[in-house]
Amino acid sequence: MTIAAQSVPGLTSAEVAERVARGEVNQLPPRSGRTTWDIVRANVFTRINFLLMLLFVMVLTTGSIVNALFGFLIIINSGIGIVQELRAKRTLDNLAVVGEGKPSVRRGGAVTEIPREQIVVDDIIEIGPGDQVIVDGEVVEASYLEVDESLLTGESDPLLKQPGDEVMSGSFVVAGVGAYRATRVGHDSYAAKLTMEASRFSLVKSELQSGINKILRLITWLLVPVGLATVWVQWNQPGTWQEKVLSMAGALVPMVPEGLVLLTSLAFAVGVVRLGQQNVLVQELPAIEGLARVDVVCADKTGTLTENGLRFGELDVLAGDGDDERDVLAQLAAADPRPNASVVALAQSLPLVAEPWQVDAMAPFTSAKKWSGMSFVGHGNWVLGAPDVLSSPGSEVAQRAERAGSTGRRVLLLGESDGPVDAPGAPGTVTPAALVILEQKVRPEARDTLAYFADQGVGVKVISGDNAVSVGAVTGSLGVAAGEVVDARTLPEAPELFADKVEQAGVFGRVTPQQKRQMVAALQSRGHNVAMTGDGVNDVLAIKDADLGVAMGSGAAATRSVAQLVLLDDSFATLPHVVAEGRRVIGNIERVANFFLTKTIYSIILALLVAIWRLPFPFVPIHISFVGWFTIGIPASILALAPNAERARPGFLRRVMSFSIPSGIVVGLATFLTYLLVLPHPGSGGSPVQASTAALLTLMIGGTWVMAATARPYQWWKLLLIGVCGLAAFVAIFWLPGWVGAWARAVPAFARFDPQLDPSNAGLMATGGVVGLVAAALVELVWWLSGRITGEHRHVFGNLAHVKA
């Protein structure tokens, strides 16, 4: 268990160069999971782009350039998607370099920190508490080295490692120090698989993506038969082949939900970039969705509510003058190879050791036992740890420590044990010598952050390994009414009773790493979406199991590696921005889905009815472009990136379909009804173009009201958006035809850009307007009814932050 007598010096520069030449270097997958070519290919070569390109080429063959304008959607969709995903990739990669821990590697007898990609086979890598084993290897040195392999094997107990034992990448050190020789690097090691899974730019296990995929499957099943019927009916209509092609394209183009996937990817990519600007590394894209759903935040006190650093306050000597106790503390600090924050505070305040004592045995600190110790040759066996663990309950020492801890300070007990600290029954009988009181500074932003969560209806559970009274005092100083303060050692073992207590109380002290994990599971079993924040190795398992794991940038490497989010600036105040960004992304994607699903449904309904009646399709592609621009594309693009503070809820697909499908049916039926009523017949005095214009008016009114309902609750800028888009839509119908006609008379070549609209027949336009208003009223009714069906509280006006489900 002791460190090998002869230290392994590591590789020379020549040996490193030789291994690099052989390719035995730790080449890892891209941090963001996708190469530039992957992003370009995913955005360009899509089924939607293929369908649009096919229709675009067909329309171009007719010579009608104005009706081929929808083809620019291919360039716009692909261009915006590529630019935003590349920007997000660059943000992820740059932040990952900043937040990534660098392993300490011995080369030529010296220890240097190098990027993990520069590790080669046979490198000697030093490890200590909180460090992650980043490549597979064999232990060459060990001093009480304990490694947790639970992330690989599920075995929760740390394993003692000795020279010759194997260590696997993905495990992490919980106690002791050591070094290991790299045996498998790059894609051969388990770390490569972890990197691929932990940093992939994807939407795995996402309710949102699952819902969108179901929507796309539904659309595909509807689009194929309706599209074939449309092609057959329109091709058999009288007229030139150019007119037939334009009618087919006019029916098929709006069925393609070209903006749904684009704006979904765009919203997520922009979310990654915005969080990057807040110094937040998003290691898994689904984390953005998790942000929006969080309703309980489990915050570790140390490093989250308080700053990481501690300051030595005073030494409360229980017997004697304190000089001997100070000497012991100085020796403990000097001999600790990887001191924790408490020991670092002692080392900074106590005098340097002139003659170090010889260490005979060592017991590293772990969060499970909550004490550490050393046996010195000729100077006794000394332990340092939690007073309520090392002293008898109810004793004078325990009460004295409790009173000191009630002020929010950290209190440790220095005592002398009756046996070696590494004995099976350690620490044995402990004779208290002194209470070590450490000052911990509360983060200045913690109070406002906790107040934000309270205002947003997000519960906060403060969980710490420190004394419960001390944790309660710190939390109380932040103005939080956390309720009952619980010593985790008194929690019931029965799962149901345990979950009841965890849900009721707000502050927990003396929590073990395994109990943190159990608390997360208990809250999840009660239907909560749990975020777990932490910075220490004791937080790893709980962060891994939480719905959203949040690590501090200065925390342990193992903690950062399993978290979905890393707060690179260690600021707890960043969390409100993180939660708000998640809500903005998810809430706005739901709005966008409403837009595009409604459009696809009314397009399919209209095409189906036209095919059944064997009529010419009323619209050409330029008409659909008008509707798409002003009632879907422009407002959806703005709303997809707008502020949105509403907490996401389960049931995304049900909510979207409960509004979009009936609304699409209403608008499609109303448009077809207008078309039937205004179709030219003997004595009607109308023309096919006038009939199309009247039907387009109905479609515009219905589509505009879908936009208006989806944008609620209203704020001034949303009303302005609706007004501008609605005005632009009606200008396109009523003003554009006359403008084009005037230009055509002056410049005959301009007639090729004829929008094929004629609003001059007042009777037909009145019919279209009346039916459109009826459709708008029915869409309004659908909006209110869908709210009742899904249990949403509908609001016409108000701030989204106050809209509750």
Q: In this structure, is the dihedral angle defined by the CA atoms of residues 758, 759, 764 and 768, taken in order, positive or negative?
A: positive
**Alpha carbons 23 and 712: distance in angstroms, whole number:** 58
Bridge partners for 439 per DSSP: 311
**Alpha carbons 669 and 659: distance in angstroms, whole number:** 16
Q: Tell me, what amino acid is at 721?
A: L
Residue pair 642/584 in contact by the 8 Å Cβ criterion: yes
**Alpha carbons 445 and 573: distance in angstroms, whole number:** 6
Residue spans of alpha helices (H) in 353-427: 387-390, 396-405
CA-closest candidate to residue 100, choices 86, 123, 122, 117:
117
CA-closest candidate to residue 658, choices 583, 608, 589, 593:
593
What is the separation, in whole angstroms, between the first and last Cα of the chain?
A: 57
Residue pair 226/604 in contact by the 8 Å Cβ criterion: yes
Task: Determine if the peptide bond prior to 30 is cis (ω within 30°).
Answer: no
Alpha carbon distances (Å) from 434 to 325, 402, 491, 686? 7, 14, 29, 101
Given 300, 388, 535, 545, which residue is catalytic? 300
CA-closest candidate to residue 673, choices 614, 721, 610, 735:
610
Residue owning tokens 């459709």:
775
Q: Cα angle vertex 199, ends 195, 201, to 5°?
A: 140
Helix or strand run (H / E) with residue 318: none
**Alpha carbons 256 and 55: distance in angstroms, whole number:** 11
Residue 123 annotated among the catalytic residues of the structure: no
Q: Regarding beta strands 548-552 and 530-534, do their DSSP bridges make them parallel or antiparallel, or are they unpaired?
A: parallel
**Alpha carbons 57 and 1: distance in angstroms, whole number:** 74
Task: Report, in angstroms and rounded to the nearest whole number, the Rg of the chain calculated over CA atoms.
Answer: 34
- By annotation, the residues acting in catalysis are 300
